[in-house]
Amino acid sequence: VFMIGIFDSGIGGLGVAIQIRKKAPRADLVYFGDLANMPYGPRKTEELFKLTLNAMRFLKSRGATQFVAACNSLSVAVIAPLADLFETPKTRVIEMVAPTVSAVCERTSGKILIVATLATVRSGIYKRAFTQQGASVDVIALPELAEAIEHQACEKELEAIIAPAVQKAINVRAELLVFGCTQFPFARSVFLHSFEKRGYEIELFDPSEAVADEV
């Protein structure tokens, strides 16, 4: 039996699940959205470790044999020790960062801006990973965005939340913006509209497809 277990703090990981389904239409999937503890972004590493352990145990109880941590806040600091507990010769634990960095570095050599949750930015995982590849990268936290998306905030509210990221991208002359949170692509149209209003061209990168390729 082979079943892919995907988990996130809410709806964000569904974007990853959709891409996996496109690439593996016959695969068995089980999805866990931890709405009771959403958002993960403001939480400390110790809390994230416990929540991730519980999610993986839950998915395993439902038959999952492979695990996808579809949440950027669950950086390597959280996933690595859990991988030691759950990985076997036939089982893998896949996180978001490594596939994302690899795909983005193949795509551009220009300035990159990562927009992410506070936990992801604090971890420094993207900054380190891109720097190790010789890429030029800046990061900015949007602490309120994931929860606003989950609660279906209106476009005006979302525009106000993402405004600092739009300004940062323009200031640093970023060529590519990476959604460092799986919820953020659900506001893709708002990002596009905000940049269009400023007359600034930038590529928006959703890591879901890169992670699905890895899966």
Shortest CA distance to 55 belongs to which of 75, 38, 72, 69? 69
Active site residue 71: yes
Which is catalytic among the residues 48, 149, 161, 181?
A: 181
CA distance 37 to 81: 21
Which is catalytic among the residues 51, 71, 153, 176?
A: 71
CA distance 211 to 27: 15
Going across the sheet that includes 203-205, the strands are 137-141, 112-116, 176-179, 203-205
* CB-count exposure of residue 68 (10 Å: 0-12, 13-18, 19+): buried
Catalytic residue list: 71, 181
